[in-house]
Amino acid sequence: MIGIMGAMPEEIRHLIPHIQQVSRKESGMREYFQGILHDTPVVLVFSRMGKVAAATTATNLILEFGVEEIIFTGVAGALHPELRIGDVVVGQHLYQHDMDASPIMPRFEIPLLERQYFETPRLQTDRAMAAVRRFFEKMDAYISEAEKTQFNIQAPAVVLGDIASGDVFVSAHAHKEAISEGLPGVQCVEMEGAAVAQVCYEFEIPCTVIRTISDAANESSEVDFPRFIETIASNYSEGIVLEWFRQRKDLI
């Protein structure tokens, strides 16, 4: 069983109709959609936003539904100056940028785990990169020319890179700079990925985090983020996750 997560309904809603023999189950204020996607048993859920919401949902996916792997799909604010709205980041190292128990332990270190980040296995990042590339090739089936023009999406890129999660919507240049200064090289910022990665690390199952850039984590985010979420975030998640499962099926 594979768990598919998003933080917001918009990040998963287009996937629901693709699940066969779907059944719904409510648990802990979340609605889980269980069924078959490309011959694979799956359970789909939106966790709500933030690290606690994501961590409890991931834990429940593992304990109540028995998932052996989690794939998280959603949006993020860009930290790297070359990232554009519509580009995709596949998480390699996942940091919690608001974790700071210094001076007792180094900044960003996760207490008792003696690590500052969670790493995604190579098999998972390879699969995710391939799925995003295939989605880009077929993008016209998911996103109209008008939508692409609206967001100035021309030749979107996919990068394998580091992601920082924290319980804050970053919408000020100074804040973005401060995060980049503490964690140089991090590509984008969001609010759940590293929490899910921590749960998966502790339960020893693989986790993949795939994030589409919805905004530049600055003063424009207030406008860019809701527009992106309303219009095309669901299409990206749908296309990327479907390609991920298609490709996985081809490999079995």
Provide, rounded to whole angstroms, the least separation between the CB of residue 23 and ligand SAH. 26
- Residue 192 contacts residue 73 (beta carbons within 8 Å): no
Active-site choice (215, 224, 238, 243): 215
Provide, rounded to whole angstroms, the least separation between the CB of residue 4 and ligand SAH. 15
By CB under 6 A, residue 236 contacts ligand SAH: no
Cβ neighbours of residue 128 under 8 Å, at least 6 residues apart?
71, 90, 208, 210, 240, 244
Residue selected from 37, 67, 76, 240 as contacting ligand SAH according to rule CB under 6 A: 76
Residue 116, CB half-sphere, CA atoms under 13 Å: how many? Answer: 15
What 8-state DSSP symbol labels residue 237?
A: H
By CB under 6 A, residue 224 contacts ligand SAH: no
Catalytic residue list contains 215:
yes
Active-site choice (11, 190, 192, 243): 11
- Residue 162 contacts residue 187 (beta carbons within 8 Å): yes
Residue selected from 75, 85, 209, 241 as contacting ligand SAH according to rule CB under 6 A: 75
Q: Which residues of 39-57 are buried (b: 16+ CB within 10 A; e: fewer)?
A: eeebbbbbbbbbbebbbbb
By CB under 6 A, residue 221 contacts ligand SAH: yes
By CB under 6 A, residue 10 contacts ligand SAH: no
Cβ neighbours of residue 252 under 8 Å, at least 6 residues apart?
none
In the stretch 30-49, what mask flags binding to ligand SAH with x, by CB under 6 A?
-------------------x
By CB under 6 A, residue 189 contacts ligand SAH: yes
Binding site for ligand SAH (CB under 6 A): 7-8, 49, 74-77, 169-171, 189-192, 214-215, 217, 221, 225
